[in-house]
Amino acid sequence: MDDRMDFTLSIINNPQSTIPLFYPWILFNLLALGLLLLDLRIIHRGGRVVRSREALGWSLFYVALAGVVAVVIYFWQGHRVALDFVTGYVVEVSLSADNLFIFLVIFKFFAAPEELQHRVLFWGIVGAMLMRAIFIFTGVGLIHHFHWIPYVLGTLLIYSGVRVCVLGEHKINPARNPLVKLLRRWIPVTENYRGGKFFVRVPAEMGRLYATPLLLVLLVIETSDLLFSVDSIPAVLAITLNAFIVYSSNVMAILGLRSMYFAVSGLIKIFRFLHYGLAVVLVLVGLKMLIANWHPVSTEVTLAVVGAVLSTAVVASILFPAKNNGI
């Protein structure tokens, strides 16, 4: 892993290159924020139901955009780094499949109107970007300072994979979310949704501030993503320790997550073996991290194996469908 240096170490080793090395970070975050603002202020302004065909189009757009980013990285950093980005992106998108089902469970539990779901996922992604940036920089820093950290992360990934195989898909009970319970103690919550508002003042109670159920939905979405990032970020760190590549692959994956949800939300349960495929991916990536010092596994092999495992899970789900696909 020592040959895969992240930007932080390269800045320390070559102080004169500090300014140029920050350009990609600035440009990439401007791109991400620009896409989010375009989405919120223009494309989905006012809130509306996102149809499957439209969502599929946007999903393909974000996949194509990730391809453009990979090409830019190829000409900037070379074949190896670009391949690390593609592999990290594929792994992150694959592991996000569980998030899609969790989103569906959360929205059904809180009876969130369809026209408000996109708004919740928008702010959920903004929060996810901030949390993952913190996790990534923390993880890369710890790995470079404490060489035993990869063994802990590898073991965690293997444990998560085995746990999914034994216990099934990730489960979440919104009613037991500690943040929801804490919020209800600190601030009253309205019985009904108030459009796209997270807070309202109730004139009948002298303008007292109330939270709306939409804020509860957002809190549960954020905390569920926090739990999933415990798996996904170590999985990408097993591929590369380049902080920019880990961050950009994560962000590109979660930017397209909303559109992917609306495009396939009705089909999620059809792929009944997918969570087993994801479990195998977690175990294999964990093993890659554990044996990296003795027998490094190339990124090409990792990408090929991940693709083969997920393809097998999808094909098996189609060939052997469940008797009841209802949720």
pLDDT of residue 136: 85
Number of Cα atoms under 13 Å in the Cβ half of residue 197: 14
pLDDT of residue 12: 35
pLDDT for 50 beyond 50: yes
Instruction: Note whether 326 and 267 are within 8 A (CB).
Output: no
Distance CA 8, CA 6 (A): 6
Crossing angle (nearest 10°) for helices 243-255 and 18-38: 10
Q: How far is CA 305 from CA 92, 239, 279, in A?
A: 15, 13, 13
| Counts for the chain of helices (H) and strands (E), in that order | 13, 2
Tokens 């996922």 sit at which residue?
A: 121
Distance CA 243, CA 7 (A): 6
Q: How far is CA 86 from CA 105, 212, 248, 282, in A?
A: 30, 39, 10, 17
Candidates 1, 36, 5; CA nearest to 245 is 5
Phi and psi, residue 65, nearest 5°: -65, -40
Instruction: Note whether 28 and 235 are within 8 A (CB).
Output: no
- Most confident of the ranges 74-88, 156-170, 228-242, 254-268: 74-88
| pLDDT, tens only, 246-277 | 999 999 988 888 777 777 665 656 777 877 88
Amino acid at 209: L
pLDDT of residue 48: 58
Position with higher pLDDT, 51 vs 33: 33
pLDDT of residue 265: 62
Is residue 171 very low, low, confident or very high in pLDDT (cuts 50, 70, 90)?
Answer: low
Displacement of CA 218 from its chain's centroid (Å): 15
Distance CA 258, CA 103 (A): 10
Mean pLDDT of all residues in 29-39: 85
Q: How many CB atoms lie within 10 A of CB 170?
A: 19
pLDDT for 126 beyond 60: yes
Amino acid at 100: L
pLDDT of residue 5: 43
| pLDDT, tens only, 202-226 | 876 767 888 888 998 898 888 877 7
pLDDT of residue 229: 76
Distance CA 192, CA 80 (A): 52
The tokens for 63 are: 């996949």
pLDDT for 234 beyond 60: yes
Q: How many residues are given for the chain?
A: 327
pLDDT for 15 beyond 60: no
Is residue 168 very low, low, confident or very high in pLDDT (cuts 50, 70, 90)?
Answer: low
Phi and psi, residue 201, nearest 5°: -105, 135
| pLDDT, tens only, 285-310 | 888 878 877 887 787 888 888 888 88
pLDDT for 324 beyond 70: no
The region of weakest confidence among 20-24, 58-62, 168-172, 193-197 is 168-172
Q: What's the mean pLDDT when you consider all of the chain?
A: 78
First CA to last CA distance, the chain = 43
| pLDDT, tens only, 129-151 | 888 888 888 888 787 777 787 88
